[in-house]
Chains A and B, each alone.
Chain A
Amino acid sequence: MRKFFINFLRMPVTGSLFAIFAAVIVGAIILLAAGHNPIRAYAGLFYGAVGQPRFAVQTIIASTSLILTGLSVTFAYKTGLFNIGVEGQFIIGTVAAVFLGHFLKLPPIVHPAAVMTGAMLAAGAFGAIVGFLKAKFNIHEVLSSIMLNWVAINLANLYISTERFYQEVGKAHGIQNSASIIFLHEMKRTPEGIAQIRELGFLSEILLRTDVNFGIFIAIAAVFFAKFFLDKTSAGYALKAVGANKDAAEFAGINIKKYMVLSMFFSGAIAGLAAAVHITGVSPNTVTLLPAFQNYGFNGIPVALLANASVIPNIFAALLFGGMNYGAGYIQSNHGIATEIIEIMIGLIVFFVALRAVCVKIANIIERKKYGSSN
């Protein structure tokens, strides 16, 4: 039993569960201090996130881009790079997606595929700049990505402010219907179509009141593809070797500069895919003038942290954060609890993730007691 407990404490997932649990406890104290009943608040949060089919779908939609931005950060991390530039890559991806979604004339299915490919290439190239600067001039990726994030936001605003690209001042042309990945997008736009959907019973509620789309399947497929790439291919092996010990990798004859650029390209491309899924899957299917970062990319960082730099867990971490974000709206309107509390809880989770080593420490202490020694 004790042995089992020690092993449990040492499992990577325990650290993440510990972080969530600790954040829940501290969050409860904050709720109490603010005069709310924490149990009711958490119950409300849970109901607001998954309590109704429609809510659950909204949670999934909110999680889709988080899965991908989390994956983007995780992927770079596997090569030993911290991709804080995921925000800028996401922004570049949205601009590319909107441009291709509006100006390309392609049939459905082909069109969104082209939009995604284009957004991935654009955002990938934008990410590769960071890798190139690091490989060639040894400029730290965090510095260059922070700068490039500003370049990205200003490029996006420039696009939106250019007459041929905007529909009205501050809003770019939306994508063509053919580029959308929203379920039954065409039907939802005509009264006859809406009437037909209404006959579908409880599904109609989801179809008409949410932007339910194919994005989640694309995101999950991307996660599994990344997992396959990293674990089963020689290029993935080399990327991981560069991440785990770049000196040894170089000494063994691996071209570490090439893999730094490649890793940032892939990481950026995943952020670009997140952007394309967001643009093609969520209304208003376009970009508007950005006075500040919208954090679609940055929000991938806590996801990756909670996922403990493993690939698959990004899905669960993103669903948790997506659910918290969406459920926050429900408790705000129904319980009068400010959404800031949820923001604080996400912050607390990240904070406690940093303390996950505590679990291993506890395991060591218990083990030492068992064997009657002290160190």
Chain B
Amino acid sequence: MHAVRMSGITKNFATVRALDNVDFKAEKACVHALLGENGAGKTTLMNILYGLYSADSGEVYINEKKTIIKNPAASIANGIGMVHQHFMLVGKLTVAQNVILGAEKTTLGFFNSKKIRNEILEISEKFGLRVEPDKKIENISVGMQQRVEILKVLYRGADILIFDEPTAVLTPQEISELTAIIKNLADSGKTVILITHKLKEIKQAAQKCTVIRRGFNIGTVDVCDVSEKQLASMMVGREVVFDFLHEKKNEPGDVILKIENLTVEDNRGVKKLNGFNLELRKGEIFGIAGVDGNGQKELVEAITSLRKIKSGSIKINGNEIANTSPANVIKNKINTIPEDRQQLGLVLDFSVEDNAILGKQNEFSNKGILQFEKITKHATDLIEKFDIRPSGCEKTKMKSLSGGNQQKFIIAREITNNPDVLIAVQPTRGVDIGAIEFIHRTLLAEREKAILLISLDLDEILSLSDTIGVIYEGKIVKTMKNENIDEEKLGLLMAGGNA
């Protein structure tokens, strides 16, 4: 029996066809993965199922009964729940309060806290979702926050659970815990739909996998019958090569960037970096592995002089750059690919060519007058050399480029500055697999400079870095060569354990 059957779903956004006559079936009590690149339409399909969008045509059957889902409330009533990528929790409230939020059961307007607590514990035991109901959300780990999100959905009586990229913020240990939970849910009769573009997870957790590409259903396969490589080429529509990494080993040279005893506080005065040390050598990619929130953000802000440091030093080629200005940092030949490309990297309302000279407007002017031919030519160079699409987009507004092309553009611009040190923060976050491949190749090609790679994606760190430093609570707890690394051990270090 199919818990979910969607047939002939078509959805247009203005002139863009996001989904084209897509059929999708998920069996009851089964983990069904939905694989596709960013913008392929997988999230749109699930948003239709969850009632956030309505389809232009097509039908939805829940438990083989034709159902019209107009809004999320209707979908919850039909036993469908969604665990969002970004948690929707209230930090100041307890776990139990968050679980019941919006579905409060009251008697004459009063809570029965004890009863609610027991109900929550009952569900959490049944599915192996270990939580502490009385703790505040802001005091529990990310992994537990996610379990609270799952509990929320189960508390509302969901039989069909949609997980939207659930592992983006988790450590390897937390990922394996989540995988166990997902399997457990399916064993207890729940249907799980897993939206992801991580092939490894599909292999680990799912039985079936449907691949969506450019709004079309490419096919549904039994996961045990296919390899990761086959899944990848189904998703992209061509062979994807990921074995190009570390073709040639570099011998790192002198120290270029030296950070000593760095202490940095966040806006609330909490020490986010505390005695942080790092040496980046010429010719290496130094990858900083760690769970989000261990000081990565403050480290980047300190190096780029967006944030004042409390003590310590940041030196490039012997020059102190801490507490100066972003302009001075750039002058000292440090360029940065920021994590938040739309906020820090681009002016979305400017054209592509105007973005190409951001901060360099004086180099592209003569006696204060902008040299438009030179500017356009510069943009054309970047577009051609870095395969930014659509080609010929010099005069296009930056906001109409796709995320992957925006990211390629930033990387193109920063590399073309020819820096001594390139800081790449989450360089492939939210971009599709084709762009990831391109970005990784580009970064490797620039390795003879010195690259500080900060990423939450452990696979990215492992496949690019020459040296890996694990950051935990504002310190590098261990630095190691990227040779024969035990991922288990790395995960433990990231979670603050000893290894």
Chain A residues in the interface with B (C-beta under 8 A): 232-235, 237-238, 240-241, 244-245, 247-255, 364, 367-368, 371-375
Contact = CB atoms under 8 A, between A and B. Distances in A.
Contacts of A252: 326, 330, 358-360
B343 A245 contact: yes
A140 B362 CA distance: 29
Which secondary structure dominates chain A's binding surface?
helix
Interface residues of B, number: 38
Interface string B8-48: 00011111000000000000000000000000000000000
A203 to B, nearest CB: 41
Which secondary structure dominates chain B's binding surface?
loop
B364 A245 contact: no
A250 B349 CA distance: 16
A325 B15 CA distance: 45
A234 B329 CA distance: 21
13 contacts: A233-B370, A234-B361, A241-B361, A249-B347, A250-B326, A253-B325, A253-B329, A253-B331, A255-B327, A367-B15, A371-B12, A374-B54, A375-B13
Given A237-B354, A237-B370, A251-B326, 17 more contacts: A232-B370, A233-B369, A234-B362, A234-B365, A240-B350, A241-B347, A241-B354, A244-B348, A244-B349, A250-B326, A251-B306, A251-B336, A254-B327, A255-B327, A374-B56, A375-B13, A375-B53
A129 to B, nearest CB: 23
A248 B370 contact: no
A255 B359 contact: no
Contacts of A249: 347, 358-359
A368 to B, nearest CB: 7
A373 B370 contact: no
B349 A251 contact: no
Nearest to A229: B368
Contacts of B12: 371, 373
Contacts, number: 89
Contact of A371 (B14, B347, B348): B14
Contacts of B13: 373, 375
Contacts of B361: 234, 237-238, 241, 254
Contacts of B345: 248, 251
A235 B368 contact: yes
A245 B348 contact: yes
Q: Which 4 A-B pairs have the closest CB atoms?
A: A252-B359, A253-B327, A234-B365, A373-B12
A244 B368 CA distance: 20
B344 interface: yes
Interface string B417-459: 0000000000000000000000000000000000000000000
Contacts of A372: 56
Contacts of B304: 251
Contacts of A250: 306, 326
Contact of B358 (A241, A374, A375): A241
A234 B354 CA distance: 11
A255 B329 CA distance: 12
A241 B345 CA distance: 12
A138 to B, nearest CB: 13
A84 B15 CA distance: 41
